Structure 1
Amino acid sequence: MSLATIGRKHYVSQTALEAVLKEVAACPDVADSASRRGIKRARDSALDVETPHGQLVTNIMVPVQTKGKSPAGGEEIQIVPTELPMLNIMAFLWHLCNSMPGLAAFFQRQLAKYPSTAGSPWRMALYNDEISPGNQLKSSNTRKLQAWYLSFIEFDAEGRCQENLWFTLCLARSSLVSRIQGGLSGLTHLLISSESFLNLQSGCLLNMPSGDRVMFFSKLHTVVADESALKFLYDFKGSSGNLVCPLCANITSRTHGDLAAHDHSGELQDISCIDTNSFVRRTDSQIFKSQSILASREPVLSKKDFALLESSMGLNYNPYGVLAHRSMPLVKCLQWDWMHVYVVSGLFHLEAGLLLPLLHEQGATFQVIQNFISECKWPHNLKNRRTEILHLFDKRSKPSDFKASASQCLTLYPLIRIFLLNHPLPVVDDGLRRCIRSFMKLCMVLDLLLAGNRGENMSADDLETAILAHCRCFLQAYGPEQTIPKFHYSLHLPGMAREKPLISCFTHERKHRQAKQFADNQKNPGKWFEAALFKDVLGRVLMDLSEHSGFMQPHLKSPKSVTGGLLLWHLVQTFGLQVAAESATVAQIAPGETCEKGDMVLLKSGAVAEVWLFCRVQTGELLALLNVLEAQGKNLFRFKQDGAQFMPVAEIKRPCLFKSMSADSMLLVRRRSPTPPRRRRSPSPRRRSPSPPRRRSPSPPARRSPRPEPDPAPAKEETPLAPDGDGNEEITTSVIAGIPRSSGEQTYRAEVNVPRENGSGPLGKRGLTAIRGPNRIDRAKAEADVRTLVEAFKRGGPAEVRKQQKELNRSWVN
């Protein structure tokens, strides 16, 4: 046997084979026990950890229904107690904190931020979903799994975006779950009522590597999943019942006819209702009472009448479920997953499927959109998605058959938005204008949801305003008949955001790969399946968590020592003597997000910059060498010759897509900030101070060092001109405030507003385009620039003005 034959008889991918051979070379003792049994024994030994709270894996007994023979000889349903493995949460947390310093440091940091007490326990979040290993098209896939993951709200977005910080509570085959008394809801009740789960409410003593001992309390608070999983967890009807929403007692589905139109009381509403004040909110006590009513009527009603009663109440009767046992309150715990509401067969797909055919009729075909996207330059962390995004607009696809995954939708929507804002359409009637406006409002909602998902401040009131605006525009554009249940579910998101952070399922969908990679290779699952799979997944998680030394901190990728050259000279001039500086062209700036030399990044200040380099100085601070661009308005930015400066990597908000417009300008594709732009319009620098804001006064703003006091910002006085002599094309001119110099000295710029070159914009308006000259210290020179630009317009219209603008920028000295 040779190296060329290894991995050929039994297929192993080249990457996996390389990794395995390196591990074997590093640990040659494994060759002595290279058998399946030896591997299994080694795995079980690694998980056989004794803690004060027991072992890491415990078992619960579940009642499984099987067909058997009755004493009379006929068939009857028999209950067979069956063991299922589940995570011993208390033992698992004790083991993590006691033996993994990186995770313990993160845990202690969050405990200092959010103390855990008996009166204020940490809030536990539970997630459920079905995983489909193997052949997705197989008619009977016996390896389908139900997975339960749990984490804590207090981990914040930094922790909740980490796959390994969603702990696998239980894994069970769907075929087995369907035979358990109560089904998915019954098994969920058994899990959350287990001793290991409930004891966290009474407290768990954790030992930290530092020697500290912490009493930790936690309680189930949030249940998040897609609509299908929540439907089976809580036994509500969903869109198949009269009441489509489990949280509302008067929102009806169209599946059973227009019930609202036949309601003489006026209380019933259909899913197109956007007046949240007209929603009749259910309470947990009402839902528990409804389940009790079903329990009392089930023995006395016929099967048909009882099914009608269930449909009218919007609930399914399940005497073994969480509602019957009152173990998991629906109103208190349920949270819609905004990812499934919007970008998994959700409102984005609905809107795109309605809008794209209309754009196609106006010449904005799939090919035109694809060409626009192909001209954009992608940041380092999105380059692998470029090809798949372009494939969405293949010629074979019909505009009405738009399909995309959740991650593709979130990458695509800002591209379509910038396309609509910059691509003129030949004819835009009122109907198309309303459709485009509805899409723009949808993009604003996604901007806010993504900002909250990254841990940025997202106001629930702002989210409510954005969602209501989108729903209102959607109804105006397409009418109520196009609404789907998720249209109504979206209106509940702001209320949920007021109580708890909105959790999306992106992390969980990635985490499913841990179970799939083991389940894919187990062809004939039997009774052993759950125990073997759970141990494999748990062992992989413990191995990954043990490798975290500095938990989730920004860091350089493949750093090199800075031993000389221009970079070291600049570092010494800026920060002093540097004997251990490192540099790299790629850095991880946030969990799951990398940035590379040449990327365009949006800064937290709102500015845009080009990345030149990353470095870590002697003090350990991670810096980026950035070239800050000059804003030109309408997402256009110009490269500057003197914009390079060192900034902390923490100032980078995120990388952005962009499109080069000329040799020195580019169009940025970005998501809007959740903070309204008008709050940032001030010539004075933002200052962080714990004192109340008292800066709105006639006096000039205070500065950190004594610098020349700038002149007051010039008022924008617009002067209309009709350069062609007959008043057909009127322009306006003004001198506006420029970007202050580093010394704080005020500058001035010429501004000429000329008619848009390409006719009407995407919303059918002629509009004006603002063309600005360079920053000038002397106001008289800015006024001279105005006259120069006006003369250029007289000679050749807007095109000549832009040509003159480039000449002014090239010759700019002061």
Structure 2
Amino acid sequence: MADSSLAVQPVHASSASSAARLSSIGRRSYVSIRGLEAVLADVKQLGELPDSVSRRTIKRRRDEQLAECSTEFGPLMQFMDVPEEDKPGEVVKVPILPPAAWLASATYQCAGWRSFFQARLQASPCSHTAPWKIVVYADEVSPGNQLKHCNARLYLRTYGTLVFADIGVLVADEAAIKQALENKGASGTVLCCHCSNVIDFKSQLQWHDRSGELVSSLSTDVRSWRLHTENSVKQLIAFLQEQRSVLNLGQFAKLEQSLGFNFRPHGLLAQPEWGPKFVERTMFDWMHVYLVHGVANVQCGLVVGVLARHGFSIKHMREFAQGFNWPARLRGAAPKTVLDKRGASEPIKCSASELLNFVQLLRDIVYRQFDVMKSPAEMPGSAVSLVNARAAPKRLANVVRQSLGALEDAVVESAADAIHAGGYTVARGDIASIQLYHAAQVEKRVGRIEFHAAVGQVTWSCVHL
């Protein structure tokens, strides 16, 4: 006799149809399982579905609710008329979130923020005679589907209303700084928004400059760098405005290229009251400088190439990376596939989290796996570069550690591996990299690591591409 406990239990039609309906929800338009769970939980808690659930209705209801949010500094959501650049006389109505209204709303709604804000006010009262400093983070915003083939909706804007504060720092990656300041950036001849005379070394203009003012972007002589000031930016913008009515389009484009800035009548730098001060107070985000198509990507790729040319195969390094036992908190960003499908000296292509771990891993490979290296004096000339390359991961690890320490409010007075000159510092790694890999191979490097005098203990990096 068959065991009744093993008999197949019949499935009721009602439960089967309910499961089918639940599993089919969200199939026509993609929603993650976690997102779908949250939406269904909200609907279940609501108890009933609204009469209309279209996108327009949802957007309209949100706008209505947001319009009811108001503070003593005005509505939480306000609108600004922004002139269209290519259509004189026409404006675009842009929604903005005024900082004063936002701060007031956040203070009312968030107990933790309210407690922190009150403590800071008591410790350092804010007034028009002693204003606080505001750190503004700028980045592009792409609403909608990030993977859409053509997503034309991109916006970048920073707006301030009546609040007792001065601009302390504008911190962003190189692309966002380029969009905010309208400097030429990596595509220009004058590629650094801070330095008025540092030019892209590939242009070779420094060899034809009779004045001796132009400096190659690979130069480590900080005394030769001429930094922009608030006054120099004002003069530059005034000169561009004057020449715009004199030169034709082609001539004016060449002038913009030679000066390193585009002229935008309604742009940030064209605002005479506070625009020009942004250049002196711009901070390149160190995470992007080092770990997002940055210094560490190039340096690690070059070190791997040197090791490969001296018999330490990429296959061996890949196997070591894949077999490394990472702590649980770092396991999600373990750089196990970083060395897959790449040339010997190509820059490392991976996420910032993976590269942050790979820097430490490469240092471990060099110091633990290849500790049989002799001193440079005892080795043939062809192997000297191998010994010199050995120090590169250590330098990178030290700089990254110091940058992280600065974020954790550690007191960092200067980079340990640095040469001081003229009030600025040049990382020893820059000079060593140029000597080891030759100038043409150093695609991206840090030009300055210093503390911004205007904002105190803030580490910032100025990158010369």
- Residue of structure 1 equivalent to 2:162: 199
- Matching residue within 289, 296, 301 for 2:247: 301
- Structure-2 change in CA distance of 1:4 and 1:376 (3 Å): same
- Residue of structure 2 equivalent to 1:666: none
Deviations 1:312-352 (A, max 9, x none): 22222222222222232233321111122111111111112
The separation in 2 between residues aligned to 1:106 and 1:350, in whole angstroms, is 41
1:65 to partner: Cα distance: 5.6
1:104 to partner: Cα distance: 0.9
Aligned residues: 423
Q: Letter of the aligned partner of 2:399 in structure 1?
A: V
Deviations 1:366-400 (A, max 9, x none): 332233234433233212223xx212123x33333
Gaps of 5+ in 1: 67-76, 148-187, 202-217, 506-814
Deviates more, 1:421-430 or 1:282-291: 421-430
Matching of residues 462-477 of structure 1 within 5 Å = 462=416, 464-465=418-419, 468-477=427-436
Q: Does 1:252 align with 2:199?
A: yes
Q: Letter of the aligned partner of 2:436 in structure 1?
A: A
- Residue of structure 2 equivalent to 1:410: 356
The separation in 1 between residues aligned to 2:449 and 2:210, in whole angstroms, is 30
The separation in 1 between residues aligned to 2:433 and 2:119, in whole angstroms, is 44
Larger proportion of helix = 2
Q: Letter of the aligned partner of 1:455 in structure 2?
A: D
Preserved CA contact (<8 Å) 2:359 2:393: no
The separation in 1 between residues aligned to 2:36 and 2:279, in whole angstroms, is 50
- Residue of structure 2 equivalent to 1:146: 155
Q: Does 1:54 align with 2:8?
A: no
Preserved CA contact (<8 Å) 2:417 2:429: no
Which of the pair has the greater relative contact order for Cα pairs under 8 Å at 6+ separation? 2
- Structure-2 change in CA distance of 1:438 and 1:421 (3 Å): same
Indicate the SS of the match to 1:125. strand
- Matching residue within 223, 226, 229 for 1:280: 226
Q: Does 1:234 align with 2:181?
A: yes
The separation in 1 between residues aligned to 2:45 and 2:460, in whole angstroms, is 40
- Structure-2 change in CA distance of 1:3 and 1:16 (3 Å): farther
1:502 to partner: Cα distance: 4.3
Deviations 1:754-802 (A, max 9, x none): xxxxxxxxxxxxxxxxxxxxxxxxxxxxxxxxxxxxxxxxxxxxxxxxx
1:289 to partner: Cα distance: 0.5
- Matching residue within 351, 362, 375 for 2:310: 362
The separation in 2 between residues aligned to 1:338 and 1:412, in whole angstroms, is 17
Deviations 1:397-434 (A, max 9, x none): 33334311212111211111112110127777111222
Q: Does 1:109 align with 2:119?
A: yes
1:79 to partner: Cα distance: 3.4
Matching of residues 366-515 of structure 1 within 5 Å = 366-386=314-334, 389-394=335-340, 396-401=341-346, 402-424=348-370, 429-460=383-414, 462=416, 464-465=418-419, 468-484=427-443, 486-487=444-445, 490-496=446-452, 499-502=455-458
- Residue of structure 1 equivalent to 2:37: 18
The separation in 1 between residues aligned to 2:41 and 2:146, in whole angstroms, is 31
1:244 to partner: Cα distance: 2.2
Matching of residues 402-801 of structure 1 within 5 Å = 402-424=348-370, 429-460=383-414, 462=416, 464-465=418-419, 468-484=427-443, 486-487=444-445, 490-496=446-452, 499-502=455-458
1:497 to partner: Cα distance: 7.4
- Residue of structure 2 equivalent to 1:94: 104
- Matching residue within 123, 137, 145 for 1:134: 145
The separation in 1 between residues aligned to 2:240 and 2:61, in whole angstroms, is 51
- Residue of structure 2 equivalent to 1:637: none
1:38 to partner: Cα distance: 5.9
- Residue of structure 1 equivalent to 2:260: 314
- Which TM-score applies when normalising by structure 2? 0.82
- Structure-2 change in CA distance of 1:282 and 1:416 (3 Å): same
- Residue of structure 2 equivalent to 1:738: none
The separation in 2 between residues aligned to 1:275 and 1:495, in whole angstroms, is 18
Deviations 1:136-169 (A, max 9, x none): 472x3234x224xxxxxxxxxxxxxxxxxxxxxx
- Structure-2 change in CA distance of 1:462 and 1:503 (3 Å): closer
1:259 to partner: Cα distance: 1.9
The separation in 2 between residues aligned to 1:280 and 1:40, in whole angstroms, is 51
- Which TM-score applies when normalising by structure 1? 0.48
The separation in 2 between residues aligned to 1:3 and 1:114, in whole angstroms, is 60
Preserved CA contact (<8 Å) 1:271 1:483: no
| Aligned-residue RMSD, C-alpha | 2.9
Preserved CA contact (<8 Å) 2:395 2:417: no
Preserved CA contact (<8 Å) 1:353 1:399: yes
- Matching residue within 202, 208, 211 for 1:262: 208
- Structure-2 change in CA distance of 1:461 and 1:17 (3 Å): closer
